[in-house]
Chains A and B, each alone.
Chain A
Amino acid sequence: MIDVIIAIAVIGVALYGIATSKNIIKTIICFNILQAAVILLFIVIAGTTGYDIPILTSENLVPVDPLPQALMITAIVISASVTALSLMFFVKIFHYYGTSNWETLISKDESQ
């Protein structure tokens, strides 16, 4: 139970970070934390205690449902690519505007 609570708390922290941080890098990192926290939450829910790992073993234990873990690997790949792409976008933004602050960025847009 405690691990589920931790995962939900991390989701809350990440959402707070996305909604308040003024720095683009911080937003992107909070975004990555959010994706990781969602994945953590479901891995924790899926890995029920009392079951075996989903690999064929000699002992006659019942394995856990392997589908959520297979899906989470795909989700991790997606979250990594989104993070990589948004960091690339940030590099471009820094190249054009020379700032990493959301608000400075908006004021630069208005002056054009």
Chain B
Amino acid sequence: MNTMIIISQGLIFAPIVISILIYLFNKKIINYLVFPIQFALTTMVIKLWFLLEEHGPFTYVLGGYNQRIAVELKMDHLSLLFMMMAVLMWWSVIIYAWNHKGKDFKFLFFLMFLEGSFMAFLQVNDFFTFFVLLELITIISAILILYKKDGISVKAGLYYLLFNSLGMVIYFFGIMLLYFKTGTLNMTISQSIIEQSFISSHSFSILHVSFATIFIAMCIKAALFPVYEWLPRAHTAAPAYISALLSGLLVKTGIYGLLRILPIFNVFDVSDFLFYLGFFTALSGIIFAVSQKDIKGILAFHTISQIGLIIMSLAYGSEIGYIGAYLHLFNHFLFKSILFFGAGLIINNYGYRRVTEIHGIFKTHPFLSIMMIIAILSITGAPFFIGFISKSMMKYSGINYFHQILFQLIGLGTVISFIKFSTIFIGKKQKKNPLDIGGIIGIGFLTSITVMSFFFELSWSKTLLKIGRISWDYGLAKGYDKIQHSMFTISSVAEFSIMAMLAYIIFKLIIKPEAKFYHTIRHFRVKFQDAVIYLLIFLAAVLNYI
């Protein structure tokens, strides 16, 4: 067990110590230390994977205090998944940004410090340390959004910081109520106390308020339906590598929080609420995505729709939905990072941001285009690409056919928004500008992982389905066999091509002609004050529902 403690502490403190060294010495040679430290982190995460397979989840208390009041760290498969994502993400960000940010010691300080605090966030098992680390992540990522040093990014950074910190104040309110009710902040202990106190009385109590506030705070971090306005602002204003970091990883802190907190409050049944919340999130994400002209805007709103899809799949707690959602978290991180990196390269080289102004990328940069097309096919769920595995699993997670239709509808919307995005590849050639080589290597690294993880996920999900870890007691029992046998039959290919054709027709007939109301939708921005009012209404709705 000592190895586990060393790994756990190493994952947290190695990047933080390196970041402080970088800041103190301020020398180019010290900056190269990030590479060995990334190798060390990768080794530690792989070692952790084997140890977890062997021994199962691992918890330990810091400082030898009573478990009820102490800081407890816990590592399980969920944190392992996020740690793998984090290590890959930081590798690709460092490779991508090295050419023009490698000398910037302040940038590397913030980046590595963020990695350490993110690794710590993935291990904590008590509500208060969770709060502190989440706030730390919010502050550092707000500084990183500012990094382009222009007016729009400062504005987006302020919006992001204030709105997310408001969410954190609400979360803090909730956990302190929970502390006075249960006498502990430890997640494992408080779960049993909540269950006991709920058996004794069902009436409205402090616990309801506490659950509602904690739930709302996680919804803000995950950018769900009424309170997602901070996300598109931050994603479009930040530099490309930070957008990728935000969209690939940091927006998922909210989903991680929901995955940790919903089992603790399992006495409250919010499955229907969560499903439709996810659906409206996904739908509004798509409506805004198809009306955008800015290529980063399309990607940002598309992130919202994918987050909604993941929430929909998690809502009913079916095992197939969970596995699909976990795989989709990982897949979404891969392909969305590739697209943001690619969009950043294109914007930096041509100086345009609008879909209509960029054309003929395939002719000028065929290698970049092929990698981005792989990502687009994955994101739309085309057969033989990673998105297909997770999306077809998520499709069967609802409890009736109506839910399955809603999943298909969101899939259709995804295809439409990406047809709009891929118009940048065709058309007549523009003047060719050389691309940043580090950027290409960063994208190539992620693309190779995307292709490799397809085979890995395929075998992994098949074994998972075969050994019967999926207990299937829902209406769509046939879904189980269907995925196992018809992964690559003609029918799935036909289904996708019909969907793509339908999407193309809708795109040609409705989206392309540029009706006037698209202009209204495109410039629809929620003011900060209005967002706060939506937040309060949302809080009232959750309190009313539970």
Contact = CB atoms under 8 A, between A and B. Distances in A.
How many interface residues does chain B have, given as a range? 20 to 34
A109 interface: yes
A38 B69 contact: no
A69 to B, nearest CB: 12
Contacts of B173: 38
A85 B142 contact: yes
Interface string A93-104: 100110000110
Contact of B155 (A68, A81, A93, A103): A93
B169 A35 contact: yes
B132 A20 contact: no
Interface string B160-189: 011001100100110010011000000000
B260 interface: no
Interface in A20-51: 20-22, 24, 27-28, 31, 34-35, 38, 42, 45-46
Interface stretch (B283-291, B441-449, B474-482, B523-531): B523-531
Interface of B: 69, 128, 132, 135, 139, 142-143, 146, 150-152, 154-155, 157-158, 161-162, 165-166, 169, 172-173, 176, 179-180, 523, 525, 527-529, 532-533, 536
Contacts of B523: 110
B166 A24 contact: no
Contacts, number: 84
B162 A92 contact: no
Given A38-B169, A89-B161, A109-B155, A68 B529 contact: no
Given A34-B169, A38-B173, A106-B527, A86 B152 contact: no
B528 A27 contact: yes
A86 B154 CA distance: 10
How many interface residues does chain A have, given as a range? 35 or more
Given A78-B132, A93-B155, A19 B532 contact: yes
Nearest to A28: B162
7 cross-chain pairs, A with B, having the tightest CB-CB distances, nearest first:
A96-B151, A89-B158, A92-B154, A19-B532, A42-B176, A82-B165, A78-B135
Q: Which of B132, B176, B180 is packed against the most chain A CB atoms within 10 Å? A: B176
Contact of A82 (B128, B150, B161, B536): B161
Given A35-B169, A74-B132, A102-B529, A15 B155 contact: no
Nearest to A45: B180
A56 B158 CA distance: 44
Nearest to A31: B162
B525 A89 contact: no
Nearest to B233: A109
Nearest to B154: A92
B541 to A, nearest CB: 17
Interface string A50-94: 000000000000000001100100110010011001100110110
B169 A85 contact: no
B190 to A, nearest CB: 14
B179 A68 contact: yes
A89 B146 contact: yes
